[in-house]
Structure 1
């Protein structure tokens, strides 16, 4: 929830605390701005009052002078009252949720508080939102009593992933007589993150570095004996139940067993973002399918305890990623998933033309499951992609052909040749037709993997697979 603070004296000036300035530092400029807010009615009353006063002076009519003063004073009093009131109106915005999948709605709630001792006149509220989220919301509020509060809400929705700013909130105040209108802006912003759509994937058998989990871990613990424990010197605060008495007798000082950290299964998801590899734009473009597919796989693998890493063709990873990627522990998986989704929400096409930088990163990495989403591959890039398989325990490639997506037909010969080349290098390569279902392709890759390699079950920690 973001607080806009008191409406500022002009523009959308930003204070250090995210609140609008009250504008009291420049009274002269503030008064001029207030006078410029006179409506046509207010200007007409002021002009009529001045004219009546001049005529009363010329004609010597005191009664006409009183009428002229009344007509001139009324809009000026409205300006002063409204000018003082606009310092005492606060606004805030609450966005829920702050992260939504593409095509889903988020709710924005606006709150206006009158903290002055005077009631306000008619209020017109407007929030600035990007046009991709829908029409700009506008609300008309009746007078707000002293100390009163008004709340309104609207919904935003986008079919395109990305990060979208909401704000600033603008408030237009009107006096009860319609003599003056003042527009003030709050400085606070909120950010709506629209993440890619994801699909739940079925558990499958894929070989990878699964040491530390499942059957492999239980076998290693069964074969390990007491002599395999590597002790260390006792430190203040260590649990005395971890004291290793045999080592204590041997070294002559108190020794404790180390906290063993089993090696976590790893998975790298490679996303090809080259602009030349994906034709077309929009929510149904092949690049958006690849981004959504990468998001689905990342969540699916992360939920199963793998340490996951997101890699693009530029060789860059997601911000905040550790040495072994994002942890998949129950305590950290939610935060890791959020960081990965935020990264994919903002990912865009790269200007690169090859996959060499991603290949260099994978060549120096540790073995594990590799899942790649490729766009168009020419013969040279297919060779680079084929060499990525050498450092991986298992590799699955989803290949999207732009020409096939544009025509809506079947894969042509060049694509089948690329698929065959990847399979010869050890990839489980699957061609992605337009509008394909990722869960179905995921199972197809599993069947292909089972025919060639068999594999260790990672679909469930019990080791039975499906």
Structure 2
């Protein structure tokens, strides 16, 4: 991400600019001015002409420096770029700053200061001794955040000073950049998430993939295309060679469902169950995209990312990188919803036959029954549920029967065909992902069951 602009450093002779410059007198400048005034008053009282000349010199020096600094006409161009502009939480990014003197005069002493949120660290400051006409200076600094989010960077400020250090003027650019801190992701093992039911599985998926989707939309001719594929009707309409697209094999689909209900999670902070679910969803999205799945992110309020086109799934392999970035940007700022249930997500999933990976919060009896119905025959479905008794804040005591209620809801999902895994704090998704592929939960008494569907596939 690169941004830049030019800012003038001249006062333009404006009275307001001169008043602003006088307010920028440094401690040294104010001391000289006060000493000059005091010497002039003493010279008048004592009748000492030599002392009066000294006082006038002391008082005139900061004023002359201020006028010269205000009247100096040169322009400075500032550029900022982030490397990279999207980073996982806990990872450093480097911010590069470039200052270029595009005027014919050399600058004086410059102090460069960039405004950053306190979460990213202390405000960086750099001192540039002198920039010759047409010259440039480049500096850089590092930022890091353990909290996901969008963080504004800027504006960039220049603090101008005269050679004697009597006066300082601040000139600010207006452009801003944004550093996107996405959730942490972890590599996941390549395992089959659930078993296969008779009559479903790879055979059906393979036959569908061999059939493909007949994409008859023409595209512009590219060097090396077979001329036998030229679509003459479209060529005549567009005035340039158009060819028929090749048939594209159907990509298996996967929906990652993230439960964001405020009532479904307890606690807050980077180690909370909600942040674990967000990071888990990010890891699952990245993993499934790498495996060639068409993926979408779905929340409990029914919103699908990357979009509503084609059911919200990423359309093609070329679009996977853009879709992944869009979903990660969404997860970077996602927050709790005020919704009370999963009904909207259920309506979106109705009729869909792709693989379903869900990161649920606490489920009551009604929501557990609704989640059980999300898994249709022929669909692979995996659910990760935080054990509320383990994720309770240290000072809270779980209510009586909470563990038994959690076991019942977990059993309800498994009896409905879900591969359900109980999640406890302190363990990464990779271990649970492997357990889901092996058909075993965290504890022996809570064995995982379930079947996969047509689009389950290898993941």
Give the Cα separation in 2 of the matches to 1:97 and 1:345.
Answer: 15
Query: Given the alignment of the two structures, is residue 77 of structure 1 paired with residue 77 of structure 2, yes or no?
Result: no
Query: Given the alignment of the two structures, is residue 416 of structure 1 paired with residue 416 of structure 2, yes or no?
Result: no
Query: Given the alignment of the two structures, is residue 431 of structure 1 paired with residue 431 of structure 2, yes or no?
Result: no
What secondary structure does 2:305 align onto? coil
Deviating more after overlay: 445-454 vs 266-275: 445-454
Task: Find the counterpart in structure 2 of residue 253 from structure 1.
Answer: none
Aligned mate of 1:453, from 436, 451, 454: 451
Query: Given the alignment of the two structures, is residue 263 of structure 1 paired with residue 227 of structure 2, yes or no?
Result: no
Q: Note if contact 2:124-2:141 (Cα within 8 Å) is conserved in structure 1.
A: yes
Give the Cα separation in 2 of the matches to 1:243 and 1:33.
Answer: 69
Task: Find the counterpart in structure 2 of residue 37 from structure 1.
Answer: 24
TM-score (norm 1): 0.79
Give the Cα separation in 2 of the matches to 1:356 and 1:392.
Answer: 21
Q: Note if contact 1:103-1:158 (Cα within 8 Å) is conserved in structure 2.
A: yes
Aligned mate of 2:153, from 166, 172, 176: 166
Q: How far apart are residue 283 of structure 1 and its match? A: 1.3
Structure 2, gaps ≥5 residues long: 232-242, 441-447
Structure 2 counterparts to residues 321-360 of structure 1, below 5 A: 322-327=309-314, 329-360=316-347
Q: How far apart are residue 353 of structure 1 and its match? A: 1.8
Give the Cα separation in 1 of the matches to 2:348 and 2:323.
Answer: 21
Give the Cα separation in 2 of the matches to 1:208 and 1:308.
Answer: 21
Task: Find the counterpart in structure 1 of residue 364 from structure 2.
Answer: 378
Q: How far apart are residue 376 of structure 1 and its match? A: 0.6
TM-score (norm 2): 0.80
Per-residue CA distance 1:116-143 (angstroms, 9 max, x = gap): 4444333322221111111222223323
Deviating more after overlay: 276-285 vs 67-76: 67-76
Task: Find the counterpart in structure 1 of residue 5 from structure 2.
Answer: 5
Compute the RMSD of aligned alpha carbons.
3.9
Task: Find the counterpart in structure 2 of residue 131 from structure 1.
Answer: 118
Structure 2 counterparts to residues 154-233 of structure 1, below 5 A: 154-206=141-193, 219=207
Q: How far apart are residue 305 of structure 1 and its match? A: 1.9
Task: Find the counterpart in structure 2 of residue 108 from structure 1.
Answer: 95
Aligned mate of 2:353, from 352, 363, 367: 367
Give the Cα separation in 1 of the matches to 2:229 and 2:316.
Answer: 24
What secondary structure does 1:399 align onto? strand
Task: Find the counterpart in structure 2 of residue 400 from structure 1.
Answer: 386
Q: Note if contact 2:7-2:171 (Cα within 8 Å) is conserved in structure 1.
A: yes
Q: Note if contact 2:117-2:152 (Cα within 8 Å) is conserved in structure 1.
A: yes
Q: Note if contact 2:354-2:454 (Cα within 8 Å) is conserved in structure 1.
A: no
Q: Note if contact 2:354-2:455 (Cα within 8 Å) is conserved in structure 1.
A: no
Give the total of aligned pairs. Answer: 429
What secondary structure does 1:350 align onto? coil
Per-residue CA distance 1:31-74 (angstroms, 9 max, x = gap): 11112112233234345555666787899987666545533432
Task: Find the counterpart in structure 2 of residue 14 from structure 1.
Answer: none
Per-residue CA distance 1:181-230 (angstroms, 9 max, x = gap): 11222212111111111111122224799xxx9865765688x8xxx999
Give the Cα separation in 2 of the matches to 1:233 and 1:284.
Answer: 48
Give the Cα separation in 2 of the matches to 1:420 and 1:289.
Answer: 22
Per-residue CA distance 1:404-444 (angstroms, 9 max, x = gap): 21268999221111110011111111111112231221122
Task: Find the counterpart in structure 1 of residue 290 from structure 2.
Answer: 303
Give the Cα separation in 1 of the matches to 2:317 and 2:177.
Answer: 29
Q: How far apart are residue 84 of structure 1 and its match? A: 3.8
Q: How far apart are residue 304 of structure 1 and its match? A: 1.9
Per-residue CA distance 1:305-338 (angstroms, 9 max, x = gap): 2211111011112254532434374422211211
Q: Note if contact 2:188-2:433 (Cα within 8 Å) is conserved in structure 1.
A: yes
Give the Cα separation in 1 of the matches to 2:216 and 2:85.
Answer: 46
Distance 1:156 1:267, change over 3 A: same
Q: Note if contact 1:198-1:295 (Cα within 8 Å) is conserved in structure 2.
A: yes
Task: Find the counterpart in structure 1 of residue 375 from structure 2.
Answer: 389
Distance 1:239 1:121, change over 3 A: closer
Query: Given the alignment of the two structures, is residue 279 of structure 1 paired with residue 270 of structure 2, yes or no?
Result: no
Task: Find the counterpart in structure 1 of residue 83 from structure 2.
Answer: 96
